[in-house]
Structure 1
């Protein structure tokens, strides 16, 4: 929770970062599911993407809650790694429990793809922030 000394614009900026990070996480997980379904030429585009994505979305949401990602949602470590591994581990567990396919090649593809997406954009944000900070100090 923001301190009383934190200004309203700072609280709004922090809240916006949380909402933006959560939305980006969800969109990237949905993108992962859509790419996978397209690669395998599966029908049922909209419902199929959600059927594929929901376990990973649930895993990411659980990681957000357990690891309190909202405290620093755009940090690659630990936030990005937590969301990545939470989405992967719980996603695969939920897929297995609901009779969806969980085979080693898919686990490897999900590991690499979700890692690239969920940690990658946070690394890009950190790079831009560093660059902006250097320009401010000139």
Structure 2
């Protein structure tokens, strides 16, 4: 895959960030937490930092739309980094939360890439006809 355009790279980053914020927002809403966007950010920042590490370590920016290694790296970075930073800052880390975070973050961070891959393949098949 060729180096992505700035637009593709920006869109991938924005989508990952938005989906992590969605995760935090849904969680806060489900547990009736207050503080609005500030509260969402308090919940999201460890996962955002972990996702950033996931973007940097394997150089995800070179092919941000791929499931492997990009999607898996961002997902595992968000999950592991998020849980580690939550634990280090005294935020709750319990098994049920780890399971929910694992599944939800996999669904959204891998899911949008899988949908993109499927659409790209269908489009290329259609163009080949």
TM-score (norm 2): 0.96
Residue 83 of structure 1 deviates from its aligned partner by 0.2
Deviations 1:61-89 (A, max 9, x none): 01111010011101111100110000000
1:129 to 109, 120, 125: 120
Superposition RMSD in Å? 1.1
Structure 2 gaps, min length 5: none
Q: How many residues align?
A: 128
Is 1:38 equivalent to 2:29 in the alignment?
Answer: yes
Match of 1:20 in 2: 11
Q: How does 1:96-135 map to 2 (within 5 A)?
A: 96-135=87-126
Q: Distance in 2 between matches of 1:15 and 1:68?
A: 15
**Rg: which structure is higher?**
1
- Runs (4 or more) in structure 1 with deviation over 2 Å come to none
Report the 3-state secondary structure (helix = DSSP H, G, I; strand = E; otherwise coil) of the residue aligned with 2:34: coil
